[in-house]
Structure formats: C-alpha cells, structure tokens
Amino acid sequence: MTPQELTDLLHRHAHFVGRETGGERANLEHADLTGLDHPGIELSEAQLAGAIFDRCRLNGANFAGADLFGARLEAADLTDAKFERADVRGVSFRGAVLKGANLRDADLRPGSLVLAPGSAKKHAVNLEGANLDDSDMEDSQMSEANLRRASLVRAVSAPNVDLTGADLTGADLHQAKLRHANLTGANLEGADLSQVSFQGANLSGAILANADLFEAKVSLGTAALPIDLQRTLRDHALWSDSGGVFGARAVLDGADLKGIDLGGAYLSGASLQRCDLSAANLADSTLVLADLTGARLAQANLRHADLYGAVLCEADLSLAELDYANLAPATIRGKEGADTGSQKQTNLSGANLDGTR
C-alpha cells in the first residue's frame, strides 16, 4: 500500500466513523504497516485482524471498537491510545508502550487467527515488557495474558478486570489500583506490589512468592508458602474456576502440613485425605466439598471456614477452633458399612463449635 492509498483509505474511514456520505470502513486485515509514523491515527471500528504494526509511532491513536484479532503491535508507541471495546484477542504487544492507554471493556483473552487441523490451541495476549503505566483497564478481559516484566505503575483496573491465570512475573504494579480485579490463579511471583490496592479483589490461588508487598492492601495469606504448594493452589483455583477445563485438582493426600498457614486459602473440592493439618491456620478458608477423610485437624484454626458439603469421616478435630464455621451439611459420620467395632470415628473432643452451622 502506497502512502497515498493509505491516506485515501483513512479519509474514507473518517467519513465512515462520522456516518457521512462516501464513508467506507477501513479494512487493513493482514496488512504489514511496520514502522508507520502516524500519531493520532483514527482507526476506530476498523477491520485490522492479523495486521502488523510493529515499531509504529501511534501515540494517541483511536482503536475503539476495532477488530484487532491476532494483530501484532510489538515495540509500538501506543501512548494514550484508545482501545475501548476493541477485540484484542491473541494480540502481541510485546515491548509496546501503552502508557496512559484506555483499555476499558477491551477483550484481551486468548485467540488465534490460524488453527492447525484438529487443534484448538489459542495464543494468549502478549504484553511482556509492555509499559501500561497509568492505563485504564476497567472491565477489560485479560485472562491468561502474558504480562511478564510489564510495568503497570498506577494502572487502574477497578472494577472487575479479569486477570484470571495471567502471568505477572516480575511485573511492576507499584501503586496500581486492582480493586475488585479477578486474579484467580495469577502468577505474581517477584512482582512489585508495593502500595497496591487489592480491595475486593479475588486472589484465590495467586502466586505471591518473593513479591514486594510493602504497604500493599492485601492479606499475606498464602504468600509465605513454599512455591511448589503455591503453584498447586494456583492450579487448583484455575481448575475450580473453569469447571475442570484448566489447571488441576489439588490432591494432597497424606501430606504433612502441620502448623501451615492456609488462612483464606481456596480448597473447594480438594482431596486432603489423611493430610496432617494439626495446628494449621485454616481460618476463613474455603473447603466446600473438600475430602478430609482421616485428616488430622487437631488444634487447627477453622474459624469462619466454609466446610459446606466437606467429608470429615474419621477426621481428628480435637481441640480445633470451629467457631462460626459452616459445617452444613458436612459429612462427619463413619463410613457406611464399616465394622463399628473397629471403625474410627470423627473426633470433635474439646472442639470449639460456637456459632457453627
């Protein structure tokens, strides 16, 4: 495409956006526009699937409502660019500058233009090393996005940005506002989370190993757990959140977790048979439908824990703190058909059951 052809196309597109006579929607699908220098370019509602904008200078560009499915904008200057309501699935922004960009209600979920026969593999949006400082991500869908080493200083995501399973390893989120964000299963290992606001955010299964949490408004929860266990909890949260499509169920049968801090942990549906959780902190944890058959929970802190439908057959809950825990309708009786003469019963001796249901 010659410069004049591009100029004519953009002129017609401007008329289209303004709903004027002679307007025509710009179609630049699969076009290679590498190195284009056009600040403030008007491409809202344009058809740009598979287009290449590598190393372009497009600060202030308007991509609102555009179809950018599978496009590439690597190392592009997109400062203050607008992507509201844009379809940005499968796009690569690797090394791009999106400082002050507007990503409100943008769809940045995985996607792929070309699928191999019999394959359903999709590519996550790649924002590795991108600068998203001061950007607005309100209501954007960024599940599984690659944000490794990205900068999101003072970025705003409230409310309801979806970062489920996103990779934020080593990212700089200093002073970011992630209120009400969904960070289920997100990897925040080594990230700078200093002074971040996580008010109302869902951090179920998030990996926080070696993260800088200075003055971060978040409960440390599982941040101090061994990294392997954090990854297990991350995979389990994704498994539960996706109905088994992603991640993997946590199977910790027979594990020695004495005295561990799992306060607020998300373990719904986990298998914890014969697990030793003596004196463990499980306050405010979610153990809905978890299998705790034969588990040792003596002196464990289960205050306000949700054990709805959990299996506690033969579990040892002696001296456990269960005040205000939800035990309805947990199964605490012995196994059906067991020999009552040798059957090991659930032990609740000395347990605090104040306010339990």
Give the per-residue SS3 of the chain.
Answer: CCHHHHHHHHHHHHHHHCCCCCCCCCECCCCECCCCECCCCECCCCECCCCECCCCECCCCECCCCECCCCECCCCECCCCECCCCECCCCECCCCECCCCECCCCECCCECCCCCCCCCCCECCECCCCECCCCECCCCECCCCECCCCECCCCECCCCCECCCCECCCCECCCCECCCCECCCCECCCCECCCCECCCCECCCCECCCCECCCCECCCCCCCCCHHHHHHHHHHHHHHHCCCCCCCCCECCCCECCCCECCCCECCCCECCCCECCCCECCCCECCCCECCCCECCCCECCCCECCCCECCCCECCCCECCCCECCCCECCCCCCCCCCCCCCCECCCCECCCCC
Tell me if 226 is assigned to some domain. Answer: no
Q: What is the pLDDT of residue 115?
A: 44
Q: Which long-range contacts (CB under 8 A, 24 or more apart) does 102-107 make?
A: 102/135, 102/136, 103/135, 103/136, 103/137, 103/138, 103/140, 104/136, 104/137, 104/138, 104/139, 104/140, 105/138, 105/139, 105/140, 106/137, 106/140, 106/141, 107/140, 107/141
CATH number of the domain where residue 300 is located: 2.160.20.80
Could you give the number of structural domains in the chain? Answer: 1
Q: What is the pLDDT of residue 123?
A: 80
Q: Which residues contact 114 (CB under 8 A, 6 or more apart)?
A: none
Tokens, residue 311 = 């299996």
Tell me if 179 is assigned to some domain. Answer: no
Tell me if 234 is assigned to some domain. Answer: no
**Alpha carbon distance 256, 314 (integer Å):** 17
Tell me if 309 is assigned to some domain. Answer: yes
Q: What is the pLDDT of residue 49?
A: 95
Residue 199 Cα distances to 16, 114, 166, 177, angstroms: 42, 39, 19, 8
Question: What string of pLDDT tens digits covers the 357 residues of the chain?
Answer: 889 999 999 999 999 999 999 999 999 999 999 999 999 999 999 999 999 999 999 999 999 999 999 999 999 999 999 999 999 999 999 999 999 999 989 999 888 765 444 545 678 899 999 999 999 888 888 888 999 999 999 888 755 688 889 999 999 999 888 888 888 899 999 999 888 888 888 888 889 888 888 777 665 666 778 889 988 988 998 898 888 888 899 999 999 999 999 988 889 999 999 999 999 999 989 999 999 999 999 999 999 999 999 999 999 999 999 999 998 887 776 555 444 444 567 777 776 777 677
Q: What is the pLDDT of residue 113?
A: 63
Work out the number of other CB atoms within 10 angstroms of the CB of residue 339. 8
Do 186 and 168 form a contact (C-beta atoms < 8 A)?
Answer: yes
Tell me if 352 is assigned to some domain. Answer: yes
Q: What is the pLDDT of residue 217?
A: 62
Tell me if 96 is assigned to some domain. Answer: no
**Alpha carbon distance 317, 278 (integer Å):** 9
Q: What is the pLDDT of residue 336?
A: 52
Where in the sequence is the domain holding 292, given as residue range(s)? 250-357
Tell me if 258 is assigned to some domain. Answer: yes
Tell me if 121 is assigned to some domain. Answer: no
